[in-house]
Structure 1
Amino acid sequence: MERIENTLTSCLPRIRSGFNDLTKTEQKTATYILENPSEVIHMTITELAEAAQNAEATVFRLCKKLGFSGYQELKIALAGDLYSPLESVYKEVDPVDSIGTMIGKIFNGINEGLQDTIKILDEEAVEKAIKAIISTKRIYVYASGGSAVVATDIEHRFMRFGISVRAYSDPHLQIASATLLEPGDVVIAVSHTGSNRDILDAVKMANNNQITTIAITSYMRSPLSQLASIALHGMGREITYRSEAMASRLIHLAIVDVLYIGSLLRQQDKIIENMNKVRKAIAKRKM
């Protein structure tokens, strides 16, 4: 994992985002940190290793894998998480919850996911993605399942800029599209897990054509993150009684908003002119 500069307030989000890519022993330590964050900031590396029933070397490897220089830096970042207004551990929706409680938990989960994403979203990667978008004439978006909603949103939004945008959720069309990519094209691949085989195949094909590929995913160390030219990560705290990627889908839509507004601000005159043309055309269709 590449070193992330904003270390002071991004420990817990990083653990959640990279959890599935940790080894079993590393997951034991990570789980202990997630469940006992206020205790961990006062522990030595030896005490944490003993509490998690692991070796000190395992704790150190976990720190390095998360992007920290060592255990002390992890604790500094953890303290930054704990002393923010956010809760450290998200409360699950329970069958006996009232409607009001359920609403509160779901909305708080979405809000916390957005706050987590602010902490782990790489500003340099966002800048590169925006530059790629405003420099291209054609964007192709690949996604499937729940992420297809995000792909459709990208298509709907960015076509208003005067850019040719096509979203594909069918794996055969994704491969066909990736095969025919030309220099200067941009591919945006959206996947919650970053492990969808069809998406990965399409991105590999795009890379073979030397195309800029942008990944929007929830896991920093996912195969998609490793494949893409630019990786943007959003962390949604998934909870019981919800589809796997519901919260993450909303977080990914927020990342799309960032790309949309960022692109708009960098080419205001050209883009606003195109958007006004679209608005006038649509207005004629209204009663």
Structure 2
Amino acid sequence: MDNTTAIGSCLARIRSILNELTKAEQKAANYILSNSTEVIHMTITELAEAAHSAEATIFRLCKKLGYSGYQDLKIALAGDIYTPLESVHKEVDPNDTPTVIAGKIFNGITEGLQDTLQIMNGPALEQAISTIAAAQRIDAYGSGGSAIIAADIEHRFMRFGIPVRAYADPHMQMTSAALLKPSDVVIAISHSGANRDILDAVQMAKASQATVISITSYMRSPLSKVADIALYGMAREVNYRSEAMASRLIHLALVDVLYVGALLKQQDTFIANMQKVRQAIAKRRI
């Protein structure tokens, strides 16, 4: 569907076709009508469980409503509930000064970092760090805003002295995944954890017997379920919004933890490599 019809009107659409839906679809639709504020924070799996429906039923409902998928429906649903300004950041006000806006956004990021720390899975984090430290090759997959995080992984982790590449193009992700080996690691980043291209590439990587580490904002996302090691970054203001501002920074913070943790696992080798990099870069300075 086009962008002019994607925002808003979701609840009205549901009511308009309610009688034309199957009983299973009606059950899901009625749940959305009664719990719209909660639904925009749910994954498709969570909605299916809460509405006592199947994920396939939710997806069919989205299609009948004219949406390309569940995420498209959530964006439209948010348009019914929030103003366009709130869809960027729910706390900002038109009368806020730039300093006040900065304070609100920074506080949201700080809260998200603290939330992430509270739900941190220590054993999973330790396993991810050990896996990265022992990897022979690291490939990072990310689309859209998450491509920036994948690129940051390439920029940082190349100092480990092993092949590291970031892939944003779906075809290149699949090519990369098909050529992986059991000693290789994929770090897949997706705010929603429901990006079809990323999921397809990760499935291919697993078929190649590589270890998959996921970084998402949802504990029960499809990507979290398929990954060998799942890490989560929580951001309060971006559970459904396309901007996903805070989650991007929180996911970058998780990458920093992985980087420093892996560095400490093999300090002598990694520090020697970093020193070589510094010396090489120093020659380029005036």
TM-score by length of 1: 0.69
- State the secondary structure of the residue aligned to 2:42: helix
The match for 1:134 is 133
The match for 1:22 is 46
Contact 1:17 1:219 in 2 (8 A): no
Q: CA deviation at 1:26?
A: 4.5
Q: CA deviation at 1:245?
A: 1.4
Q: CA deviation at 1:274?
A: 0.6
User: CA offsets per residue over residues 59-112 of structure 1, 9 Å max, x none?
Assistant: xxxxxxxxxxxxxxxxxxxxxxxxxxxxxxx96112222222211110000000
Inter-partner Cα distance in structure 2 for 1:26 and 1:213: 29
Q: CA deviation at 1:246?
A: 1.3
Structure 2 gaps of 5+ residues are 1-37, 52-88
Is the alpha carbon distance of 1:196 and 1:172 closer, same or farther for their aligned partners in structure 2, counting shifts above 3 Å?
same
Q: What percent identity do the matched residue pairs reach?
A: 63
User: CA offsets per residue over residues 27-54 of structure 1, 9 Å max, x none?
Assistant: 9xxxxxxxxxxxxxxxxxxxxxxxxxxx
- State the secondary structure of the residue aligned to 2:213: strand
Contact 2:213 2:228 in 1 (8 A): yes
The match for 2:100 is 101
Contact 2:180 2:208 in 1 (8 A): yes
Runs of 4+ with >6 A deviation: 15-18
After the TM superposition, which residues 138-217 of structure 1 pair with which residues of structure 2 at under 5 Å, given as runs? 138-217=137-216
Q: CA deviation at 1:19?
A: 3.2
Is the alpha carbon distance of 1:224 and 1:18 closer, same or farther for their aligned partners in structure 2, counting shifts above 3 Å?
farther
After the TM superposition, which residues 218-237 of structure 1 pair with which residues of structure 2 at under 5 Å, given as runs? 218-237=217-236
Inter-partner Cα distance in structure 1 for 2:40 and 2:257: 20
Q: Which moved more, 1:207-216 or 1:243-252?
A: 243-252
User: CA offsets per residue over residues 174-205 of structure 1, 9 Å max, x none?
Assistant: 00110111120100000000000000000000
The match for 2:30 is none
Please tell me the residue identity of whatever aligns with 1:248: S
Is the alpha carbon distance of 1:190 and 1:16 closer, same or farther for their aligned partners in structure 2, counting shifts above 3 Å?
farther
Inter-partner Cα distance in structure 1 for 2:39 and 2:265: 33
Contact 2:90 2:237 in 1 (8 A): no
- State the secondary structure of the residue aligned to 2:186: strand
Contact 1:113 1:247 in 2 (8 A): yes
Inter-partner Cα distance in structure 2 for 1:265 and 1:18: 37
The count of corresponding residues between Structure 1 and Structure 2 is 210
Is the alpha carbon distance of 1:264 and 1:16 closer, same or farther for their aligned partners in structure 2, counting shifts above 3 Å?
farther
Contact 2:147 2:168 in 1 (8 A): yes
Please tell me the residue identity of whatever aligns with 1:181: L
* 1:261 has 2:285 as partner: no
Inter-partner Cα distance in structure 2 for 1:131 and 1:272: 17
The match for 2:24 is none
Q: CA deviation at 1:237?
A: 2.0
TM-score by length of 2: 0.69
Please tell me the residue identity of whatever aligns with 1:136: A
Contact 2:187 2:215 in 1 (8 A): yes
Q: CA deviation at 1:225?
A: 0.1
Inter-partner Cα distance in structure 1 for 2:246 and 2:39: 14
Contact 1:133 1:263 in 2 (8 A): yes
Is the alpha carbon distance of 1:17 and 1:114 closer, same or farther for their aligned partners in structure 2, counting shifts above 3 Å?
farther
The match for 1:122 is 121
